[in-house]
Amino acid sequence: MRRRKTQNYSTVGGEGDKPAGDEQTTAEVEGADASGGNGADGANGAAPHADDAAGDDAPGGAGAEGAPDIGGSPPTTAERIAALELERDDYKDRMLRIAADFENWKKRARKAETDAASEARERVLKDMLEVVDNLERAVGMQAGGNGAADGSAVLKGVDLVLRVLKQKLERHDVKAFDAAGQPFDPRVHEAISRVASADVPAGNVAVELQKGYRLGERLLRPALVSVSSGPS
């Protein structure tokens, strides 16, 4: 322990007087020495605790030893085979369902196509039945008479039936086309003979023997014609 000597100041007024604040007692010096000693000891004492904390944080410390293993063991061969079999069965079931749905769709499509064709035929045949009814009435009227046929009445009746029939055909987009005088076209004309004609150029249709018909833009029946060979 160190002791610091104190300096006495003497003044004219008497001994023992000294400026305030310049005197440091022995107790104060001893207290300062004690404080310095304790601070050093405290610093030295804190070091072991830091070493303990560093030891806990080290990779090989007690904290690392208690960490669980989250990797897990790989599946065995039997487990992998069982998983693959389940996946195979699932795909097989899906394929069977798709095949069954496709077969049902094909059946529905065939039925729809058949129904549509049947409905189209029914519409045409119903229209034709009206023509048959008119012809039967005309024949019945002639049979109910005295046997003498009225040519004008028969002609008028046939003309009426023909008009009705043409209307029915046009309703189904069936229309006749003219071929007389037109250049011969093998796509829509069917030639059965060649005739000499001074009025029709060679290679054109001289006579239309049977009308041709179109169904919309498609050819339903070609026209039966005789082709001109030019003047004889």
Handedness of CA 118, 124, 127, 128 (dihedral sign): negative
HSE at residue 232, side-chain half, CA atoms within 13 A, is 4
Contacts of 191 (CB under 8 A, 6+ apart): 184, 225, 226, 227
**Residues 6 or more apart in contact with residue 181 via CB below 8 angstroms:** 200, 204, 205
Domains in the chain (CATH in brackets) are 173-232 (2.30.22.10)
Pairing mode, if any, of strands 223-228 and 189-195? Answer: parallel
- Residue 223 has phi, psi (to 5 degrees) of -80, 140
CA 189 to chain centre: 48
Per-residue DSSP letters for 150-212? -HHHHHHHHHHHHHHHHHHHHHTTEEEE--TTSBP-TTTEEEEEEE--SSS-TTBEEEEEE-E
Token representation of residue 58: 């080290």
Grouping H, G, I as helix, E, B as strand and the rest as coil, residue 219 is: strand
Average pLDDT, consecutive stretches of 10 residues, N- to C-terminus, the chain (232 residues): 45 42 45 44 42 44 47 86 95 96 96 93 88 83 63 82 90 92 94 92 94 94 94 81
Helices (H), 58-76: 62-65
CA atoms of 97 and 82, how far apart (whole Å)? 23
Give me the half-sphere count of Cα atoms (radius 13 Å) on the Cβ side of residue 179.
28
Helix (H, G, I), strand (E, B) or coil at 138: helix
* Threshold 0.85, pTM exceeds: no
Nearest to 210 by CA among 180, 171, 165, 167: 180
Strand partners, 207: 226
